[in-house]
């Protein structure tokens, strides 16, 4: 029987062996979307029920059955999916229907997934709050009047509300880590290059953003990662294939808790207390957890980050330089900053990034993993574009409130966002658990061990479920 909060690994196994039919799962999925999605706006551009049921029936008749055989999925609306409107949340693309799938989308389709539609995202993926002028805002399933985070907000909500079993995300500045934390699910930012992006545009300079899987358990994340990952001959910086399943046994680890980085990251009341309590699960599993002093100057990481981020974002938006009135204010801000940077400024930012990377490598000679919160504030009101201050400290940009994710983003190391529990108002928060380059499988195994003793997504589904 299909269960909306069940294991994706178990579900696809049943779909492959025929003990559950694709038609049954698709019917249940669409019924649940019809019931819950209107109040959340997690899934957009949904294909017709008739088309999807016909595709499901064909999957039941198929002899070849891939790793994701018959699994209904919706793709983040920053990626091109053949035959489905791919808007990037922008009115400029509201009528754009691609004729081809992006690379990772084609891998999902080849593995047997049935692509139902898209998941909502901020315009051009900018900002950790999912709203846009095409589809509107996506509400948090634990309180639809609050933000779900972003930019993979629709994906996280769809998972949290039991609308899908697996989801893709992407992450530059916490875009799957923050919504995972705010929606009581898991999100994985893999080692940079493990999941190659579409081989278009520049292939060398902008090593910041990455695609990644999201799910309701780390084992399910590993299932999806094994489909999404692997080299592409057109991309010189893609990593070789590194299979995740089966996840290995976990030996006792030494884990460092970075907290608020010695006060550098202002936090709303209750976040550090909740995250510290969540660390107890690791200690009870036999791991050594200890506080770590700030290993690097936070402001130097920030200055390096915002320079390289604006440089990368402007590269993607430069086609709109003569049509800026069609962009939102934050996109214009990034475009102007990025196009105005000098070569020496970019080099200085890259030098600083390199200094932090070398220091981080030293840290991981002592620790198997390091931990930070996934956000510095609780989910804020849906009609607010971004927080202007946190705990009395003014934010000087639209994304400063997410500074806590930048130490990981700048490194390109693997990071698993795990649920940490709930605050006083019943809203979720998460932890960023990150490791050294290439330690993706070890992190997922640690996360699955944590999941087995916490089980937050299954134990505490949102009220709408």
62 CB-near residues (< 8 Å, 6+ apart) = 69, 112
Residue 135 is predicted with a pLDDT of: 98
Owner of token pair 């699960």: 281
Q: Report pLDDT digits (tens) over 346-400.
A: 999 999 999 999 999 999 999 999 999 999 999 999 999 999 999 999 999 999 9
Contact assessment for residue 155 and residue 119, using Cβ atoms and an 8 Å cutoff: yes
Cα–Cα distance, 103 to 81 (Å, whole number): 10
Residue 322 is predicted with a pLDDT of: 82
The ranges assigned to domains in the chain are 8-459
Strand segments (E) across 197-339: 210-215, 254-257, 288-291
Residue 1 is predicted with a pLDDT of: 59
Q: What angle do CA 394, 177, 115 make, to 5 degrees?
A: 130
Q: Which of 127, 84, 128 is nearest to 105 (CA)?
A: 84
Cα–Cα distance, 437 to 456 (Å, whole number): 27
From residue 280, how far is each of 254, 286, 432 by CA, in Å? 13, 10, 15
DSSP string, 289-330: EEE----S-HHHHHHHHHHHHHHHHHHHHGGGGGGGGGS-HH
Q: Is residue 444 classed as helix, strand or coil in its secondary structure?
A: helix
What fold does the segment set 8-459 form as a domain?
Amidase signature (AS) enzymes (3.90.1300)
Average pLDDT across each block of 10 residues of the chain; the chain has 465 residues. List them in order.
Answer: 89 96 98 98 98 98 96 98 98 96 98 98 96 98 98 98 98 98 98 95 94 98 98 94 97 98 98 98 98 98 97 93 87 94 98 98 98 98 97 96 98 98 98 98 98 98 88
pTM over 0.95? The answer is: yes
| Tokens matching residue 441 | 């499988």
């Amino acid at each position: 029987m299909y269960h909306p909060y069940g294991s994706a690994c178990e579900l696809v196994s049943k779909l492959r062996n025929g003990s559950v039919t694709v038609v049954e799962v698709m019917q249940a999925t669409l019924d649940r979307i019809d019931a819950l999605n209107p109040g959340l706006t997690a899934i957009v551009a949904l294909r017709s029920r008739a088309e999807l049921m016909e595709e499901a029936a064909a999957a039941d008749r198929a002899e070849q059955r891939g790793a994701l055989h018959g699994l209904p999925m919706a793709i983040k609306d920053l990626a091109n999916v053949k035959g489905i409107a791919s808007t990037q949340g922008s009115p400029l693309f509201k009528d754009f229907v691609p004729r081809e799938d992006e690379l990772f989308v084609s891998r999902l389709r080849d593995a047997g997934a049935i692509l139902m539609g898209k998941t909502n995202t901020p315009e051009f993926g900018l900002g950790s709050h999912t709203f846009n002028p095409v589809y509107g805002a996506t509400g948090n399933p634990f309180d639809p009047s609050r933000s779900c985070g972003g930019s993979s907000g629709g994906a996280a909500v769809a998972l949290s509300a039991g609308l899908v079993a697996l989801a893709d995300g992407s992450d530059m500045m916490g875009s799957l880590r923050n919504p995972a934390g705010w929606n009581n699910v898991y999100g994985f930012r893999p080692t940079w290059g493990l999941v190659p992006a579409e081989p278009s545009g520049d292939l060398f300079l902008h090593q910041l953003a990455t695609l990644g899987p999201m799910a309701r358990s780390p084992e399910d994340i590993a299932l999806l990662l094994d489909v999404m990952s692997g080299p592409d001959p057109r991309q010189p910086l893609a990593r070789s294939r590194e299979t995740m399943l089966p996840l290995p046994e976990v030996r006792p680890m030494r884990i460092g808790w970075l907290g608020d980085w010695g006060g550098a990251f202002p936090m709303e009341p209750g976040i550090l207390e909740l995250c510290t309590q969540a660390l107890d699960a690791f200690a009870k599993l036999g791991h050594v957890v200890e506080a770590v002093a700030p290993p690097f100057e936070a402001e130097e990481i920030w200055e390096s980050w915002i320079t390289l981020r604006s440089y990368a974002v402007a590269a993607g938006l430069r086609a709109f330089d003569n049509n800026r009135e069609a962009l939102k204010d934050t996109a214009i801000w990034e475009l102007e900053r990025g196009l105005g940077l000098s070569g020496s400024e970019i080099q200085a930012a890259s030098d600083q990034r390199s200094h932090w990377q070398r220091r981080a490598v030293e840290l991981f000679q002592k620790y198997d993993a390091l931990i930070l919160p996934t956000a510095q504030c609780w989910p804020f009101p849906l009609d607010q574009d971004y927080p202007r201050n946190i705990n009395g400290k003014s934010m000087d940009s639209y994304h400063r409130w997410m500074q806590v994710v930048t130490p990981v983003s700048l490194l390109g190391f693997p990071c698993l966002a795990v649920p940490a529990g709930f605050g006083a108002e019943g809203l979720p928060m998460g932890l960023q658990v990150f490791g050294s380059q290439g330690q993706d499988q070890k992190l997922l195994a640690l996360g699955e061990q944590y999941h087995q003793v916490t089980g937050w997504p299954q134990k505490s589904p949102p009220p709408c479920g």
